[in-house]
Structure 1
Amino acid sequence: MKIVGLITEYNPFHNGHLYHIKTAKKLTDADYVVVVMSGNFLQRGTPAIIDKYSRTRMALASGADLVIELPCAYSTSSAEFFASGSVALLSQMGCIDYLCFGSECGDTEILKKIAFILADEPLTFKELLKKYLKEGLSFPIGRKKALLDYMADTTMTKEELEPILSEPNNILAIEYIKALIKQNSKIIPLAIKRVVSGYHDSLIKDKICSATAIRTAFQTSGLNSFREQVPSYVFDILSEAYNRTFPIYPNDFSSLLKYRLLLQNSKPFQAYWDVSESLANTITRMLSQFKNYEDFANLLKSKQYTFTRINRSLIHILLNLEADTIHQFIEHNYALYIRILGFRKSSTPLLTAIKANSGIPIISKLADAKNHLTQLGLLMLEQDILASDIYNTIVIDKFDFSIPNEFQQQIVIFE
């Protein structure tokens, strides 16, 4: 039995994701596809446009055999921790053979060379990085410049390296491989070249386009604007959910975020994951100018902090994700349980293999979780339940549509 793992968000699922699943399965000759998917909050520090169970249905209908939830502690984190948490989940299953991921360059070997440098952190590279950070550059830009200086003319020229180190899917791919290295995982990485569109492309140009382009098209022109860019069954799921549970946007959380920020006296902002002392001071100083979620994030943006970093910091405050707690998760090897969101009925041999080889508990019923998890594992699960409760509160408030809570929600089973 061969099993390939994918790390995803599906916000929403589109033709490019379908291509990814089919190509990963073909290249690896895999019998089963396991998807690790972000829950209701994503790596850019934003809510998913549609809930995790709807996106699970999309994935299973598209050929995935099992969908596992990536805890919000990692799904809302930087590329490094997003990748580390995802890779740990796949590795702990004990039976995943390959990790397939999209990248702009599609060159697994060059991505591995870069990942080994970041994993080993040679002294010269560390000194270069320290120099650029002292100049006030953000961490992503400082690290890119340090890598360019360190690798130039030994591996590739700066002109060849620069685009590889600038593209978002290449950056994530490098973090996936770095996580595999640092966790001493036996999973084999395999890059698939991204086709047609870029991650940040905001315009629909072909039948395969970015999720960003689909969300932009929807906001400006409605559902029918991207009918050809998603599989028909995905379009049906989105149509069925329209004005019931979809769409959800960051500004829908404005009042809740403002309330959380006004509680600053109960806990300093820097206690939350990704919030530095200087950013905490800026939040306090700018709080009186808060109008809505996105406007406030733009107010906080600076040379030191990217818009995505700001969004992640705000979402961590909203979801009560404290830095000390997440550091404990990391110290305990990231993955504390495997939570199933959905599976195909035909995937029984896959589930049997995971149960036989998994190094951590498998959660299919929340009511049974306390019997299988450590105190730290229960804390991680409670964070995910809170995140879902907050997301569902916004859905109910926006659409006046009743939805089941996490204890009532059934696992998605695809016939």
Structure 2
Amino acid sequence: MKVVGIITEYNPFHKGHKYHIEEAKKITGADYLVAVMSGNFVQRGSPAIINKYDRAMMALNNGVDLVLELPVCYATGSAQYFALGAVALLNQLGIVDYLCFGSECGNIKLLEDAAKLFYKSSESFDNILYSYIRKGLSYPAAREKAAKDLLKADTQIISEPNNILAIEYIRALLLLNSSIKPITIKRNKAHYHDKELKNDISSATAIRSILQNSKNPAEFSPVKNSVTNCVYDYFIKNYNRRFPITMEDFSSIIKYKLTYESNRKLTEYLDLSSDLVDRIKNIDIQNYDIESLMQIIKSKNITLTRVSRALIHILLNIKKKDFKEYIDDEIIYYGRILGMKKEASHLIRKIKEYERIPIITKVSKADKQLSSLGMSMLNQDILASHLYNQVVFEKFKISIPNEFKHGICIL
């Protein structure tokens, strides 16, 4: 039995994702595909446009056999920690043979060379990196320049978003001494940041833009060629009933915490430096919506993505101290199943046989399976989902069962 793992968000699911699933199985000859998927909050520092259970069903309907949730502390982390958490989860399952991911370059050798450079993090690399930071560059921009200097490659490999994640996936495999083999698929047609729809494969960014800015389902027709039929049917039936959810829907809670909490308390949250907190506190936040506020907060060396992640970490009570404890100990403490196909049920039995990680099928019984650190991590997932579900109810008057009542999605 061969199993290939993928790491994803499906925010929302589109034909590019379908292509990835089909190619991953084809290239590796895998019998089953396991997806580690972000829950209700995603890596760019925002809520998912559609809740995690509906996105898990989209995945199952389009070729995924088993969907596990990436804990929210990693799902909303930087590329390095997003990758580390997801790879650690796949590794701990004990059944995964391959990790397949998309990249702009499509060259596994180039990606591995870059990953090894970051993994070793030589003194010369650090010296060049911090020389660029002292010149006022943001950390991502400084790292890109330092890596290009040392790799001596005339390429955008360090700056393209999927390449960056690919490098971090390989780096995580090295760090964990994992036997999982990395495989890359060249990203075709739509670029990650493309805001314009294509005829076939479009970016999730472009699709979200249509979904968020349309006044009714009749205006969704431009995205029809970019998504599978079952996903498009979901859009038509559930618009303004279960989605879209945006950052602005959490505006009141975020602004309350920014106003109520002291500078010292705010610096306890992940991705919040004292400089960033001072910058936030000097703004009359009540005068701006969240998107405008983030634009004002960002600066030359503080990216918009970092700002949005910081606000999400404040919203979800994700603190530096807790995160450091997770990383310094086991990194990942459980595998939470969101959905599965009936014919893949033996995968769960196989994972349990290895006894490398507790598998959670019922949140109500998790306290009997997990350590105190594991429960701390899971409680952050529970809080995130309950906040998300509350916003769905307030916006659409639709109740999504809470984490103690919602069962696994089964196809």
TM-score range, shorter chain: over 0.9
Instruction: Report matched runs for 1:22-171 at 5 Å.
Output: 22-152=22-152, 156=153, 160-161=154-155, 163-171=156-164
Q: Which runs of 5+ in 2 are unaligned?
A: none
The superposition leaves residues 260-281 of structure 1 with CA deviations (integer Å, 9 ceiling, x where unpaired) of: 2122139621100011111011
* Partner residue, 1:375: 372
Report how far residue 218 of structure 1 moved.
Answer: 2.5
Q: Which runs of 5+ in 1 are unaligned?
A: none
- 2:212/2:244 contact within 8 Å kept: no
Report how far residue 230 of structure 1 moved.
Answer: 0.5
- 1:289/1:296 contact within 8 Å kept: no
- 1:258/1:290 contact within 8 Å kept: no
Q: What TM-score results when the alignment is normalised by the length of structure 2?
A: 0.97
The superposition leaves residues 336-363 of structure 1 with CA deviations (integer Å, 9 ceiling, x where unpaired) of: 1000001000002222221112411110
Secondary structure of the structure 1 residue equivalent to 2:44: coil
- 2:104/2:186 contact within 8 Å kept: yes
* Partner residue, 1:406: 403
Report how far residue 290 of structure 1 moved.
Answer: 4.4
- 1:49/1:246 contact within 8 Å kept: yes
Question: Within 2, Cα distance between the matches of 1:257 and 1:290?
Answer: 14
Greater mean alpha carbon deviation, residues 122-131 or residues 24-33: 122-131
Instruction: Report matched runs for 1:245-256 at 5 Å.
Output: 245-256=242-253
Question: Within 2, Cα distance between the matches of 1:293 and 1:14?
Answer: 27
Q: 1:327 aligns with which of 314, 320, 324?
A: 324
Secondary structure of the structure 2 residue equivalent to 1:136: coil
* Partner residue, 1:200: 193
* Partner residue, 1:227: 224
> What residue identity is the alignment partner of 1:302?
S
Q: What TM-score results when the alignment is normalised by the length of structure 1?
A: 0.96
Q: 1:216 aligns with which of 209, 216, 236?
A: 209
The superposition leaves residues 87-108 of structure 1 with CA deviations (integer Å, 9 ceiling, x where unpaired) of: 0000001121000000011111
Question: Within 2, Cα distance between the matches of 1:408 and 1:240?
Answer: 24
Question: Within 1, Cα distance between the matches of 2:328 and 2:74?
Answer: 14
Determine if the alignment matches structure 1 residue 272 to structure 2 residue 269: yes
The superposition leaves residues 165-210 of structure 1 with CA deviations (integer Å, 9 ceiling, x where unpaired) of: 2210001000000010111111100110011110000001221110
* Partner residue, 1:395: 392
Determine if the alignment matches structure 1 residue 302 to structure 2 residue 299: yes
The superposition leaves residues 119-145 of structure 1 with CA deviations (integer Å, 9 ceiling, x where unpaired) of: 001111111011111222111000001
Percent identity, aligned pairs only, is 49
Greater mean alpha carbon deviation, residues 284-293 or residues 233-242: 284-293
Question: Within 1, Cα distance between the matches of 2:221 and 2:264?
Answer: 46
Report how far residue 240 of structure 1 moved.
Answer: 2.6
Question: Within 1, Cα distance between the matches of 2:264 and 2:278?
Answer: 13
> What residue identity is the alignment partner of 1:88?
A
Secondary structure of the structure 1 residue equivalent to 2:41: coil
Question: Within 1, Cα distance between the matches of 2:28 and 2:95?
Answer: 14
Question: Within 2, Cα distance between the matches of 1:407 and 1:373?
Answer: 16
Question: Within 2, Cα distance between the matches of 1:224 and 1:393?
Answer: 30
Report how far residue 233 of structure 1 moved.
Answer: 0.7
Question: Within 1, Cα distance between the matches of 2:147 and 2:321?
Answer: 30
Greater mean alpha carbon deviation, residues 84-93 or residues 395-404: 395-404
Q: 1:182 aligns with which of 164, 168, 175?
A: 175
Task: Please provide the CA RMSD for this pair.
Answer: 1.2
Secondary structure of the structure 1 residue equivalent to 2:381: helix
Distance 1:290 1:333, change over 3 A: farther
Q: 2:312 aligns with which of 299, 310, 315?
A: 315
Question: Within 2, Cα distance between the matches of 1:37 and 1:404?
Answer: 20
> What residue identity is the alignment partner of 1:139?
Y
The superposition leaves residues 303-358 of structure 1 with CA deviations (integer Å, 9 ceiling, x where unpaired) of: 11110000000000011111100111111131110000010000022222211124
Question: Within 2, Cα distance between the matches of 1:23 and 1:108?
Answer: 15
